[in-house]
């Protein structure tokens, strides 16, 4: 079965792409002209991370990608290594960046040095952007390796 993104894209990429899209919206506020507008945006979003059903906007793409990345681990050994690399990038890069972002927003909402918090968000979101792109590239490479091994 192929994903709606086409024959060359694994299902896991869809959830990662959704997260990348949400991150792009955040980046607009990170780099916008008004720190106050960013504060209003982030302080409105912060409670939704911890309340149901609003938290599903993050949990659904994370769970969707996670399930498919874990399912990809059952592939042949060459592809499995690439999918393990995706897991490592997301766990050891993505999770700390997400934590740093949430802490910066909490500080921003408490009016603690908002300019510094915006800079922290910019750095964390830039790192997440690279992490998501790397994860998409790794998942696509793993899928290509699996497809190549099936053809042989």
pLDDT above 70 coverage of the chain, percent: 87
Q: How far apart are CA 142 and CA 73, in angstroms?
A: 10
Does a structural domain hold residue 41? Answer: yes
Does a structural domain hold residue 95? Answer: yes
Number of domains observed in the structure of the chain: 1
Does a structural domain hold residue 83? Answer: yes
Does a structural domain hold residue 4? Answer: no
What does the CA dihedral 26, 133, 135, 78 come to, rounded to 10 degrees? 170
The parent domain of residue 120 ranges over 12-151
CA 104 to chain CA centroid, nearest Å: 17
pLDDT digits (tens, 9 = 90+) for 99-141: 999 999 999 999 889 899 999 999 999 999 999 999 999 888 8
Does a structural domain hold residue 7? Answer: no
Q: What is the mean pLDDT of residues 59-85?
A: 83
Does a structural domain hold residue 3? Answer: no
Does a structural domain hold residue 143? Answer: yes
> Which of 3, 34, 33, 2 lies closest to 18, judged by CA?
3
Q: How far apart are CA 38 and CA 41, in angstroms?
A: 5
Q: How much is the pLDDT for 104?
A: 95
Does a structural domain hold residue 53? Answer: yes
Phi, psi angle pair for 74, to nearest 5°: -85, 5
């Amino acid at each position: 079965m192929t994903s709606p993104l086409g024959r060359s894209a694994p299902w896991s990429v869809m959830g990662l792409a959704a997260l990348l899209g949400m991150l792009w919206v955040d980046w607009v506020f990170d780099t916008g002209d008004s720190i106050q507008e960013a504060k209003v945006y982030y302080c409105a979003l912060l409670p939704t991370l911890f309340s149901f059903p609003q938290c599903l906007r993050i949990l659904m793409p994370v769970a969707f990608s996670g399930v498919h990345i874990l399912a990809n681990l059952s592939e042949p050994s060459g592809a499995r290594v690439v999918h393990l690399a995706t897991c490592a990038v997301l766990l050891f890069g993505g999770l700390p960046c997400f934590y740093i972002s949430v802490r910066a927003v909490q500080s921003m909402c408490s009016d603690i040095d908002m300019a510094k918090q915006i800079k922290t968000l910019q750095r964390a979101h830039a790192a997440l952007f690279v992490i998501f792109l790397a994860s998409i590239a790794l998942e696509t490479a793993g899928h290509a390796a699996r497809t190549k091994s099936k053809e042989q």
